[in-house]
Structure 1
Amino acid sequence: MKRISIAVVLVLIVSLTLVFHSSLRVSARVAASDVTSSGTPYSSEWRLTGPTGGDVRGLVIDPNDPDRFYFGTLDGQIYTSTDGARSWRMLVNLNRPSLFVDHIIVDPRNSKVLYVATHRHKDPGGFFKSTDGGLTWRDAPELRKAAIHSLAQSESNPNILLAGTITGIFRSTDSGETWSPLPTGALAAAAAQQRGDQEVDVESLAIDPRNSNVIYAGTWYLPYKSSDGGQTWRIIKKGIIDDSDIFAINLDPRNADHVIASACSGIYETRDAGENWVKVQGIPSQSRRTRAILQHPSIPGLVFAGTTEGFWRSGKGGENNSWMVTTSRQLEINSIAVHPRNPNTVFIGTNNYGVMVSTDGGKNFVPSNTGFSGRFVNTIVADRENANRVYATTINTTTGGGFFFISSDGGASWQPSMRNMPPRLIGYSIFQDDRDGNTIYLGTNLGVYRSSDRGVSWAPVMARKPATTPGKRRVTNRGSVRRTVAQSRPSSTRRAIAQPPSTPGQRIAAPKPSDDTVRRAQEALGRAGYEIGTPDGQLGPRTIAAIKRFQTDRYLSVSGQLDETTLAALGIASATAGSATAHVAALSDPVNAMVSFAGKSGHEILAATNSGLFRTADPALGWDRFSYGQGIDVRTTSISTSAQNPSVIFVGTATSGVLVSRDAGETWQQLSGVLNTSPVNVIVQDPQRSSFVYVGTKLGFYMSHDGGDHWSRRGGNLPFGDFTSILINPRNPDELFAGNAYQNDQNAQGGGGVYRSNDAGSTWVRIDGREHRLPSFRIWALALDPKDQNTLFVGSHSGGIYVVPRGAESSANERR
């Protein structure tokens, strides 16, 4: 279950001086954590295969070596290139999850000196310095609790560095060795007047190259200027719309009084050092969130703007209506760099698409990501019939949506395959039809999509519209409406009338809740910290707005309605929670998992959704929903069935733990051995011993060897964790793999990981040793090659897919 997030509050905060070591290649040394219980390493080879691309934040070029590049990611990694951005390798993994590396500076006096500023939005990131080209790093004690959103070095006095944070501006006069805060009371007072808090929120900084005492600071409110090295500040807003977040400030390299600033309200320029500003016209309002702006260092009048809707270019100094977008508007740009020797070569760091390069002055761009994958891999499935064909889905961490990828060479390379998919589609589960291997179902945030050509093209799964007689009005015979699954329970005898086809993502209107239900929902929202005023039982604008915020925070479909899923998430049982199984024409809520099922009508498909568990014998005829009974959270996160015992269904929920039905879904039992305090991510049953059941939750791993009657938590050497994927070797069911996605600053060196057991979960060994220098240790997906169980596919949080061939010695031991 990868869609429902629960915050884990940690009370222990440890500040450490971190020294990070990196090597130039993946070592074949064997660490203790990479040794199986038989005394041999599982594998000494972890191949980082892609899919290439991902999120690139700060991107810079070494001023002394134009072939050397650096960029930062949003998960604490720094990559480097020594061949002009044609290929990349990871320089260092700072092992701080969700760390935005937005700013990297290469000291112009010594290219081995690197400065890095990081943040986690408003949470701490820190400042890091390396004096040996990135082999080792040291953090600044004064900035360990700082969320640094901007970093600048003085050109006239390179010893001076400035760091802009949420709480203020810090200054170093010794090249980042020590830091001290600057007085920013004026900025805090303006924030208090505008927003009611005293956060300074310095998003951008620039230092006049002629005088290091002249500083520009862009905040989440307006720009400021200091002429005395930051001792005093004044607001410079004449001509700028109030409450304008200043994302970037760029000084003209030919005339430092000419400044261009990007803001949420547009782009502004001043020709008198900030005294007067003029709004630049030409970039549409929806594209004005300009994260990077750059006046070309050697071509006068050429200006670039990297926005959340494409790359924009002006050949007339940014004059009104001189801008032209040269990329897709779906492209989000975070940084811009120009090659110092080839002025027409422009590089951009983007979300989703990594580094892109233009050789014609920013008119056309192509990706350049060999060696880099920063993708969040959510699901991996190997084709059960076609050797070397593998499918994977990824989630776009910053922009929303995702990609579907296909490999035809055993994971060595990947190609996107999203024909006919809408934007912002996220694939949560992949299911290859048991009867027809050409048919693949994709469970998404917008319902179910189907491919009849092994993932080449896609179409939404919707109920077929019943045929009508031309010229005559069709009369529905309520007693003969065909259902997808025959129902035998007395409570299910009411026939459901077929509904018209629905568009994927379209929510079927929920019945109007009673005043009492609305009042209880308002009270629950109030307890959860959402402002709704006095509970009055009425769905007014304030209540609807609070519902939408709650749905957004809980990753539910945002409708503003008190549908059953939202009521369940609020802990309120709706009037229909225990009613007969509902029939829907198409699934519109997120589909978290899909499996095959030997139901009463023969072959069926089960789908776990945020609105419950559904079944169908033919998706073109719609879906029927199981009823769990009163008081159960219907948000279903995972499913497990077994051909060995087809009447048994295990499901995982968001807050009701694990449920089991032993009569093909007629009745359900909530199991007591698995805690219901955290969402269930995954459930698997041993294909040869269906009584062996394994469960991964947000807070731990559970196993039962008696069909769920008794449970034990974890196993020997298996740590606390967020276990997102569990894999059983079908040829050797005693061999298990478990993927752990839990990692934070406190367990950075030991968090996450891939664990292996060869005794059915009793003991475990970690197999992704640190010597492999993987970019991400948070694991979300695992798969084995169905033709050759000696190849393991590992989906990571921000390092793409690792292909891991079992070592020869380990394979020989497994065959004994």
Structure 2
Amino acid sequence: MKYLDYLNCKTSVKAASLIFIFFVFLSSGVIAQQPESPLVASFETYRKMKEETPFKLDWVALGPTVNSARADIVQVDETNPGTMYVGFGSGGIWKTINHGVSWKSIFEEQSSIGIGDMELAPSDPNILYLGTGENLKKPRNFTLPGTGMFRSDDAGETWRHIGLNDSWAISEIEIHPNDPDIVFVTVLGHLWTKNQNRGLYRTLDGGKSWEQVLYKNDVTGANEVQISPSDPQIMYASLWEVYPGISGENSGVYRSRDGGTTWEHCTNGLPSGPKIGRIGLTVSSTNPDKAYALIDNLNNSRNEAAELYKTEDGGLNWTKTHAGPFKIFPGIGWYFTDVYVNPENDEEVFCLGVRLAHSLDGGKTFSYIGGQVSRMTPSLAQGLHLDQCELWINPSNPNHLALGNDGGFYVSYDKGLTWMHYNNIPTGEFYDITIDQEDYTIYGGTQDDATVYGPAKELNTRFPDHWKYVWIDPWDGGDGCVTQIDPEDKSIIYYSRQHGDAMRLDKSKDLAVSIMPRLPKDSKDTLVFNYMTPYFLSQYDSKTLYHGGNFMMKSTDRGDTWKAISPNLAISSNPEKRSFATGDIAQSSLDKELLYAGTDHGAFWVSKDGGTSWEENSTGIANNYIRSIAPSQHQKSRVYMAMTGINYDDLNAYVYTSDDFGKTGRSIKAGLPNEPMNVIREDPKNEDILYAGSMRGVYVSLDRGLSWSFLGKNLPATAVADLEFHLESQDLVVGTHGRGIYKISLAPIYEMVNQNLLAETNHFFEIKKTPRPWYNSSSGEPDYRTLEKANFSYWLSQARPIRISIFDESDREIWREDLEGTQGFNQYRWDLVVRKVSSDAPYFIHYERFINAGNYRVQITSDDVMMEQKFEVIESSSPYLVRDGF
């Protein structure tokens, strides 16, 4: 609907006033097109490279699900409660139609992978609005910005982009209770820099056009908007001064009584001052003049920052509901400040903070909801995870709650007395992974869901997760960072938590001790660490550890004592590179005396004498967060480095190589999507092969960075946090920040390079021995938990239809499959089923017949191609005999 059409159809308001409003909108530029996010251009490059890559090998999902992830968005179709939606800040939107037994990701291959909010239209649950861009201002390099608003009219099956291109961070969507085309969106805007495209926006035509209806300035965004269900003309909104800090004098509450066209600042009774932070709002379902505001008032002490206010006259006057302090988010209200009211009783209030606070008297007094928790995947976690993100209350049955927090998605049908935790969704937000090379166990630290370990086995959510916790805190979570395994004593595990908090665990004694580095008591310096603190166990000595803060710290006695072996690395010769602490540290595998350190603002340091002296080599590189340093394993003076600018609203790619210890560097980003790069790795076998992990995937170069290709298929567009190699299996393992862990076999790439295969040739790569499923000795049925697929990898000089056929030792064809082959690498992962059988017999079994153990011959044929490989199928062992329950 165009603006003048809208003016003509609203006869209840005087035409002159509406025309005046229209010209105010026009003169303030509210109908101008917003600039496009740079993530749109990089997404088009990503999509093209993914489509055209010759490296179409399979990424295999490993999970885990046991630890779940931060759930920011929870929505339930109240007309069909078995249909539920969960949004993970960096893990996408997931939907179930069977009460959470199985889940499907419904927002794939979009220009944005960071999620801000999603809402179902109250009048039509098939209409969904989704706002991209995470709204938690966390400087951890993974607060992913967005590209605007999306809409679905078929319950998430398809999506279309509907504007607000420059929003970057969207915190709330509110849809008119009767008209799904009237939508309000609160835009926080750029989190780390100034911009004008922030505030409260409205569409009257389902997203075809947008109006900026509430705006303060270029540092203040909108955080919350609530429409009165009983009178949609009345609504409340909050602004939040989000830059440069997390609070400011421009934060405040506003009200509208004309459907959001004009707004009035609410001040009477509400706190003011230079440190007003995030503000959450809710309005009574039956009384439009009754509303609550939960405020992060940082003018108070940290323990008394949380304050709940109530109005009963439409926002003219507000009173604080409680006399004493309300300790639900001491100093960290930027993470929470959501408030909800029972639709049937507007004196019953729920406040979200570290814990879930509950009041039956309008906020005068509070109790805390915990309850008994059952889990889809059993684990060491016992209670309701802390750090509450979003609550949904069933309007027709307020005992039915859905809750999202840092531990995932929970549902209760008795108002929090009992919960079901749906930890069967693979959305882990990993910061770092480590591989035990001896037994191929993977360890990974996650965002507030501790550190987990598990086998490199393909994910199958039909069965309990194989993964377990290395450690977990008393509140069923905790931020897991780096893990290291003692190569000489596997019972010793080193792990870390946020801000440099390092621990040494002796599994044989079930004893963990703190080994966090400290400076001497008489030191005049202060030792500080970034949230994600780098450290590693030296490959030259299993008792030696290095730990990176603003000083490089070293221990030679397993962390019992430490000493600083560097100057303050945060102090650069370039004032623009002055930093807080290191972002990554590394030791050369060719020279134990060769150490590197990179800071969060682009200062790059090298020591060639084990830390006695240091040289800064920062010239010519950007002033961003150095997140990955990779000393070459083939040339001593060569080093690679990747940095990200997400913490500074810089969304460009930065990847460098140097052949003189970093003194002179060369960018190798040409050919990569221009998006943040989180990790760079050199192949352990071939110095010409590099791997780069970005905010959307993994890339491979066979010529040391002169050119790049997208690596693999089946990996969702997800932020890559870490890349590690398992040498014996020739696998590359990726830890993502939002979609768990994946692996890919590099064996075909090695074979192609080692044999100097030409692009115009056709080639069938060696097939590894593959175990058939284990058969239960008592029932004779296959145990699908033990199913492993066979990998048939082949290279085609050009795209063509092909047939894969398997022959037994008597040359009898026992299986075939017709496929469309693409130019380059192809891979078909076969489930070993040679025949499917159905029967109407009441006690029939063996619906799927698996290939028998033995030797076989596999052929790939087309009109002009015939390739062949040997294939051995072996019997598998009982899963009950595998160590540690894996």
What CA distance in whole angstroms lies between the structure 2 residues aligned with 1:90 and 1:201? 30
**Contact preservation (8 Å) 2:234, 2:255:** yes
2:342 pairs with one of 251, 275, 296: 296
Please give the secondary structure, in 1, of the residue aligned with 2:81. strand
- What's 1:53 paired with? 68
* CA displacement 1:9-40 (0-9 Å, x = unmatched): xxx9536997999xxxxx9x99555424xxxx
What's the Cα RMSD here?
4.6
Task: After TM superposition, give the deviation of residue 106 of structure 1 in Å.
Answer: 1.9
Please give the secondary structure, in 2, of the residue aligned with 1:783. strand
Task: After TM superposition, give the deviation of residue 588 of structure 1 in Å.
Answer: 12
Please give the secondary structure, in 2, of the residue aligned with 1:285. coil
Q: Which runs of 5 or more structure 1 residues have no equivalent in the other structure?
A: 1-11, 22-26, 189-196, 397-401, 462-503, 513-562, 567-586, 744-751
Query: Matched residue pairs, number?
Result: 642
- What's 1:107 paired with? 121
- What's 1:312 paired with? 357
What CA distance in whole angstroms lies between the structure 2 residues aligned with 1:138 and 1:636? 41
1:659 pairs with one of 600, 606, 620: 606
Task: After TM superposition, give the deviation of residue 242 of structure 1 in Å.
Answer: 4.7
What CA distance in whole angstroms lies between the structure 2 residues aligned with 1:284 and 1:78? 36
What CA distance in whole angstroms lies between the structure 1 residues aligned with 2:502 and 2:546? 9
Task: After TM superposition, give the deviation of residue 507 of structure 1 in Å.
Answer: 5.8
What CA distance in whole angstroms lies between the structure 2 residues aligned with 1:198 and 1:680? 29
Determine if the alignment matches structure 1 residue 436 to structure 2 residue 486: no
**Contact preservation (8 Å) 1:153, 1:161:** yes
Q: Once the two structures are aligned, what percentage of the paired residues are identical?
A: 20
2:442 pairs with one of 387, 390, 398: 390
Output aligned runs, 1:643-792, within 5 Å: 645-652=591-598, 655-661=602-608, 663-665=609-611, 675=621, 680-685=626-631, 687=633, 690=636, 693-698=639-644, 700-703=654-657, 713-714=667-668, 717-718=671-672, 723-730=677-684, 732-734=685-687, 736-741=689-694, 743=695, 752-758=696-702, 763-769=707-713, 772=714, 774-776=716-718, 778-790=719-731, 792=732
**Contact preservation (8 Å) 2:182, 2:203:** yes
- What's 2:185 paired with? 163
Please give the secondary structure, in 2, of the residue aligned with 1:756. strand
Task: After TM superposition, give the deviation of residue 347 of structure 1 in Å.
Answer: 0.7
Task: After TM superposition, give the deviation of residue 391 of structure 1 in Å.
Answer: 0.9
- What's 2:282 paired with? 250
Output aligned runs, 1:199-218, within 5 Å: 201-218=221-238
Q: 1:713 to 1:410 in 2, by over 3 A?
A: same
- Structure scoring higher RCO (CA < 8 A, sep ≥ 6) equals 1
Output aligned runs, 1:175-574, within 5 Å: 175-182=206-213, 201-220=221-240, 221-235=251-265, 239-242=269-272, 247-264=279-296, 266-274=307-315, 277-281=318-322, 284-287=325-328, 291-297=337-343, 300=345, 303-314=348-359, 316=360, 318=362, 320-321=364-365, 323-326=367-370, 331-339=386-394, 343-350=398-405, 352-375=406-429, 377-385=430-438, 387-396=439-448, 403-408=450-455, 410=457, 412=459, 413=465, 414-418=467-471, 427-443=480-496, 445-453=499-507, 458-461=512-515, 504=516, 508=520, 563=525
What CA distance in whole angstroms lies between the structure 2 residues aligned with 1:17 and 1:430? 32
* CA displacement 1:584-623 (0-9 Å, x = unmatched): xxx999852324265xxx7762414224334443146623
The letter of the residue matching 1:286 is K
What CA distance in whole angstroms lies between the structure 1 residues aligned with 2:412 and 2:254? 34
**Contact preservation (8 Å) 1:269, 1:279:** yes
The letter of the residue matching 1:89 is K
TM-score normalised to structure 2 length: 0.61
Q: 1:759 to 1:370 in 2, by over 3 A?
A: same
What CA distance in whole angstroms lies between the structure 2 residues aligned with 1:16 and 1:659? 33
**Contact preservation (8 Å) 1:682, 1:695:** yes
What CA distance in whole angstroms lies between the structure 1 residues aligned with 2:508 and 2:393? 42
Determine if the alignment matches structure 1 residue 796 to structure 2 residue 736: yes
Q: 1:96 to 1:304 in 2, by over 3 A?
A: farther
**Contact preservation (8 Å) 1:737, 1:754:** no
Task: After TM superposition, give the deviation of residue 338 of structure 1 in Å.
Answer: 3.0
1:14 pairs with one of 36, 41, 44: 36
What CA distance in whole angstroms lies between the structure 2 residues aligned with 1:366 and 1:206? 28
**Contact preservation (8 Å) 2:585, 2:598:** yes
Q: 1:454 to 1:175 in 2, by over 3 A?
A: farther
Task: After TM superposition, give the deviation of residue 63 of structure 1 in Å.
Answer: 4.0
* CA displacement 1:334-358 (0-9 Å, x = unmatched): 22113467653311111x2121122
What CA distance in whole angstroms lies between the structure 2 residues aligned with 1:107 and 1:619? 57
What CA distance in whole angstroms lies between the structure 1 residues aligned with 2:75 and 2:667? 47
Q: Which runs of 5 or more structure 2 residues have no equivalent in the other structure?
A: 1-33, 138-144, 189-197, 241-250, 297-305, 372-382, 460-464, 574-578, 645-652, 756-886
Q: 1:160 to 1:695 in 2, by over 3 A?
A: closer
Q: 1:431 to 1:716 in 2, by over 3 A?
A: same
Determine if the alignment matches structure 1 residue 173 to structure 2 residue 214: no
**Contact preservation (8 Å) 2:386, 2:475:** no
What CA distance in whole angstroms lies between the structure 1 residues aligned with 2:39 and 2:631? 44
The letter of the residue matching 1:405 is V
Please give the secondary structure, in 2, of the residue aligned with 1:357. strand
Q: 1:689 to 1:813 in 2, by over 3 A?
A: same
Q: Which has the higher strand share?
A: 2
Q: Which of 120-129 and 404-413 deviates more?
A: 120-129
The letter of the residue matching 1:308 is G
